[in-house]
């Protein structure tokens, strides 16, 4: 018998080929990626989940945020809703979840009945609000307009036990993924909104998001300064201050400042605001908690010069390698033939679909003698990887295995010792 895994519509890997690490006698849980490749010879993309890395990463983050501001860490479920991933984060001490759809709410409630859920999507459908409040006991909702406030009040029957968090718009910053355009109330509107929610909510908060893969710790201080001005102008006493997500991880050629620098910046920024003693500080990390904990093994189908045609692409788990131009750490895996000492060369990838846009320029650095039939492991794909897969062109099959390797790249400030002990 294999491990029992929850099924979920929001975790697309559940639609893949059956996990064949079913028997501990065949493959012990402390298996390496290379062993898994040798065992399965996978011809479809193989997602390699590192539960130990995920657990230790979460534990490091939770401890750092606790030490900095005694705050609560809300995992942003959208980033990777895979049940094995969620279980590892829970084991690492995550008890709060940033959910943004009824599907995510259902999944987390099923898996962790005692989890604290916070509905952090600023624009929700009416039925989604009703279901969240009435069926799943969600009380905290984010909003960025009077219209959304009205909707929440109507759909919860003017509930008296709401936690309402006003999402503040930030000016465009220097995050790799800018999130400034879609959501957030401008400062003047946020002042009015805060006063309005204070009249009706049991708990009132302010939130923002500095953008994803934010490499500058000072961005949090600047955002906190703006939040402080809005809170002061409103004259409202707040109960929650949510500094959002955005915490970065390493990619080839990019090593972020250590996690501690971000925590110190947040502690300084929060310290200047003179918040009431009861006010909780929240954050909503996604990428930082899960990117290092999953890698992807792909197979080379054809080589054309320095272009490799591989079996996953921008319509699969490599969407960020397309137009956003993310580069991922790469290594060749060749379990059945001698590895040579060929130097590294720069390669671009084509995905398996017939669309010419299914191209990833990289460059990805791999041995110069790589050829069709070889496998490649791509690291840091736990965030915004498998959750973005589509079934386009019929390429919707994938394998999932659990492995015990460390990540291909280390991100400074995280203690992953226990997972290799
Ligand atoms: C509301 C909200 N919170 C948190 C996150 C997670 O951000 P990150 O992965 O950059 O930490 C996102 C990402 O889109 C988001 O929209």
Please tell me whether residues 184 and 89 are part of one structural domain.
yes
Q: Residue 31 domain-assigned?
A: yes
Q: Which atom of ligand 1 is nearest to the CA of 285?
A: 11
Q: Residue 416 domain-assigned?
A: no
Is residue 377 over pLDDT 80? yes
Please tell me whether residues 314 and 391 are part of one structural domain.
yes
Q: How far is the CA of 183 from the centre of ligand 1 (A)?
A: 12
Is residue 216 over pLDDT 80? yes
Confidence of residue 337 (pLDDT cuts 50, 70, 90): confident
Q: How far is the CA of 309 from the centre of ligand 1 (A)?
A: 32
Q: Residue 419 domain-assigned?
A: no
Q: What is the pTM of this model?
A: 0.93
* Total domains, the chain: 2
Please tell me whether residues 140 and 284 are part of one structural domain.
yes
Q: Residue 412 domain-assigned?
A: no
Q: Residue 379 domain-assigned?
A: yes
Is residue 24 over pLDDT 70? no
Q: Residue 411 domain-assigned?
A: no
- Angstrom distance (rounded) from CA 222 to CA 218: 6
What is the average pLDDT across 304-321? 97
Q: What is the pLDDT of residues 301-311, one digit of tens each?
A: 999 999 999 99
Q: What percent of the chain is predicted at pLDDT more than 90?
A: 87
What is the average pLDDT across 20-44? 74
Site to probe by mutation for ligand 1, drawn from 97, 179, 182, 283 as the one with most ligand atoms within 8 Å of Cβ, is 179
Q: Residue 391 domain-assigned?
A: yes
Q: What is the pLDDT of residues 102-154, one digit of tens each?
A: 999 999 999 999 999 999 999 999 999 999 999 999 999 999 999 999 999 99
Q: Residue 258 domain-assigned?
A: yes
Confidence of residue 23 (pLDDT cuts 50, 70, 90): very low
Please tell me whether residues 174 and 147 are part of one structural domain.
yes
pLDDT of residue 25: 39
Burial class (CB in 10 A: 0-12, 13-18, 19+), 278: exposed
The boundaries of the domain holding residue 338 are 14-50+292-402
Site to probe by mutation for ligand 1, drawn from 78, 169, 182, 245 as the one with most ligand atoms within 8 Å of Cβ, is 245
Question: Which residues are the active-site residues?
Answer: 354
Is the CB of 167 inside a 6 Å radius of any atom of ligand 1? no
CATH number of the domain at 37, please.
Answer: 2.40.37.10
What does the block give as tokens for 239?
């109960």
Is residue 20 over pLDDT 70? no
Is the CB of 292 inside a 6 Å radius of any atom of ligand 1? no
pLDDT of residue 177: 75
What is the average pLDDT across 9-26? 50
Please tell me whether residues 320 and 389 are part of one structural domain.
yes
Q: How far is the CA of 123 from the centre of ligand 1 (A)?
A: 15
Nearest C-alpha to atom 1 of ligand 1 is from which residue?
120
pLDDT of residue 200: 98
CATH number of the domain at 160, please.
Answer: 3.20.20.10
Please tell me whether residues 36 and 140 are part of one structural domain.
no
Nearest C-alpha to atom 5 of ligand 1 is from which residue?
245
Q: How far is the CA of 262 from the centre of ligand 1 (A)?
A: 16
Q: Tell me how long the chain is.
A: 421
Nearest C-alpha to atom 14 of ligand 1 is from which residue?
212
Is residue 283 over pLDDT 70? yes
Q: How far is the CA of 248 from the centre of ligand 1 (A)?
A: 11
Please tell me whether residues 272 and 128 are part of one structural domain.
yes
Please tell me whether residues 224 and 356 are part of one structural domain.
no
Is residue 398 over pLDDT 80? yes
Please tell me whether residues 286 and 360 are part of one structural domain.
no
Please tell me whether residues 225 and 317 are part of one structural domain.
no
Last residue of a domain, one of 255, 272, 290: 290
Is residue 34 over pLDDT 60? yes
**Backbone angles phi and psi of 130, in degrees to 5:** -60, -50
Q: Which atom of ligand 1 is nearest to the CA of 121?
A: 1
Please tell me whether residues 260 and 296 are part of one structural domain.
no
Helices 51-69 and 83-91 pack at an angle, to 10 degrees, of 50
Last residue of a domain, one of 290, 308, 323: 290
Last residue of a domain, one of 235, 259, 290: 290
Please tell me whether residues 38 and 105 are part of one structural domain.
no
């Amino acid at each position: 018998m294999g491990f029992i895994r929850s099924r979920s519509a929001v975790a697309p890997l559940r639609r893949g080929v059956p996990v064949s690490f079913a028997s501990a006698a065949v493959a012990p849980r402390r298996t390496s990626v290379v062993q898994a490749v040798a065992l399965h010879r996978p011809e479809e993309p193989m997602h390699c989940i590192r539960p130990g890395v995920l657990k230790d990463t979460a534990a490091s983050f939770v401890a750092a945020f606790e030490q900095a501001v005694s705050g609560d860490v809300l995992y942003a479920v959208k980033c990777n809703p895979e049940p094995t991933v969620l279980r590892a984060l829970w084991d690492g001490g995550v008890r709060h979840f940033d959910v943004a759809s009824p599907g995510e709410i259902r999944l987390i409630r099923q898996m962790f009945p005692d989890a604290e859920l916070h509905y952090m999507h600023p624009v929700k459908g009416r039925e989604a609000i009703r279901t969240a409040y009435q069926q799943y006991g969600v009380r905290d909702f984010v909003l960025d307009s009077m219209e959304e406030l009205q909707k929440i009040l109507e759909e919860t029957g003017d509930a008296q036990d709401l936690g309402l968090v006003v999402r503040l718009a930030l000016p465009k910053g220097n995050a790799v993924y800018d999130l400034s355009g879609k959501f957030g109330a401008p400062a003047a509107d946020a002042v009015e909104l805060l006063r309005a929610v204070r009249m009706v909510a049991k708990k009132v908060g302010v939130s923002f998001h500095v953008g994803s893969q934010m490499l500058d710790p000072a961005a949090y201080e600047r955002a906190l300064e703006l939040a402080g001005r809005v809170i002061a102008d409103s004259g409202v006493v707040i109960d929650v201050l949510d500094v959002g997500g955005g915490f970065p991880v390493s990619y080839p050629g990019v090593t972020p400042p250590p996690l501690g620098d971000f925590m110190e910046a947040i502690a300084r920024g929060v310290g200047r605001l003179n918040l009431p003693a009861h006010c909780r500080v929240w954050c909503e990390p996604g990428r930082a908690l899960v990117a290092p904990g999953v890698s992807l093994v792909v197979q080379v189908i054809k080589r054309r010069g320095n272009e490799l045609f591989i079996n996953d692409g921008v319509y699969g788990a490599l969407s960020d390698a397309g137009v956003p131009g993310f580069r991922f750490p790469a290594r060749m895996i060749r379990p059945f033939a001698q590895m040579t000492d060929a130097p590294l060369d720069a390669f671009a990838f084509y995905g398996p679909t017939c669309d010419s846009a299914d191209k990833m320029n990289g460059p990805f650095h791999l041995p110069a003698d790589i050829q069709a039939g070889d496998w490649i492991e791509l690291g840091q794909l736990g965030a915004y990887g498998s959750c973005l897969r589509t079934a386009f062109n019929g390429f919707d099959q994938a394998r999932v295995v659990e492995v015990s390797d460390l990540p291909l790249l280390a991100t400074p400030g995280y203690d992953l010792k226990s997972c290799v002990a």
